[in-house]
Amino acid sequence: MQFPHNGRRLNYSKVATAIFLLVGFQCGLTVASDSGEKTIASGERLVHNLDCNVCHTPKILTPRGPQPDPSRLLSGYPADEKIPPVPEEVIGTTGWGGVFNNDLTAWAGPWGVSFGTNLTPDDDTGIGGWTEEMFVEAMRTGTHQEEGRPFLPPMPTYSRLSDEELNAIFAYLRSIKPIRNTVPTALPPPSVQKEE
């Protein structure tokens, strides 16, 4: 249907179609945004429930004891922290043994010393360069991008989490503040260090 308007003919069906498409597009963006926010919130809950902050966030001392430092959330073992010596008499391959540093970001045992990695989206020192597929594969297999060393204790693999859950965790990790923090490379067991 066309009606004259200021000397021009206005095609109301085209105008109505354009308005309908514009509103539909806006609604689609809102739904996608809501969906993305829900995915991130779900990932945050999973990170909290899986206690990722225990090993991957430096701690601050509070009246309630050590608590995750919100300014260094999931940034891993602090690069500027001196690696404490491992008491040799505590660690052994035939018995109990295992110690951790004061903020639980470094763990020592018969496997050597492992460090909580930087899970922030920093491109150089965190997972900023990772794709969702790389993250899911690492979490399922316990290896870093199929070419690095396996995850060391106490880090488990999460092979029983669904793709949806792992994708939500990745979305959350991509949403937090990137923190530049180069975590040290894992150290071999004391017996291997002596041989070198």
- Confidence tier at 31 by pLDDT (50, 70, 90): very low
90 and 141 in one domain? yes
- Confidence tier at 29 by pLDDT (50, 70, 90): very low
Separation of alpha carbons 152 and 167, rounded Å: 22
Count how many domains the chain has. 2
Whether 85 and 94 have beta carbons less than 8 Å apart is answered as: no
167 and 85 in one domain? yes
182 and 103 in one domain? yes
119 and 40 in one domain? no
The percentage of residues in the chain with a pLDDT greater than 70, rounded to a whole number, is 73
Of 109, 171, 112, 111, nearest in space to 136 by CA: 171
pLDDT digits (tens, 9 = 90+) for 50-97: 999 999 999 998 999 889 999 999 999 999 999 878 776 777 666 666
Higher pLDDT, 105 or 25: 105
What is the side-by-side order of every strand in the sheet holding 99-100? Answer: 99-100, 106-109, 112-115
Q: Is the pLDDT of residue 193 over 80?
A: no
The pTM score is: 0.76
Whether 190 and 116 have beta carbons less than 8 Å apart is answered as: no
The percentage of residues in the chain with a pLDDT greater than 90, rounded to a whole number, is 48
Asked which of 27-31, 45-49, 94-98, 173-177 is least confident by mean pLDDT, the reply is 27-31
Given 29, 48, 67, the domain boundary residue is 48
Separation of alpha carbons 64 and 125, rounded Å: 31
pLDDT computed for residue 118 by the predictor: 97
141 and 104 in one domain? yes
pLDDT computed for residue 9 by the predictor: 57
95 and 107 in one domain? yes
pLDDT digits (tens, 9 = 90+) for 138-147: 998 888 766 6
pLDDT digits (tens, 9 = 90+) for 109-157: 888 899 999 999 999 999 999 999 999 999 988 887 666 677 887 788 7
91 and 29 in one domain? no
pLDDT computed for residue 35 by the predictor: 76
Q: Identify the domain containing residue 44 by its residue range.
A: 2-48
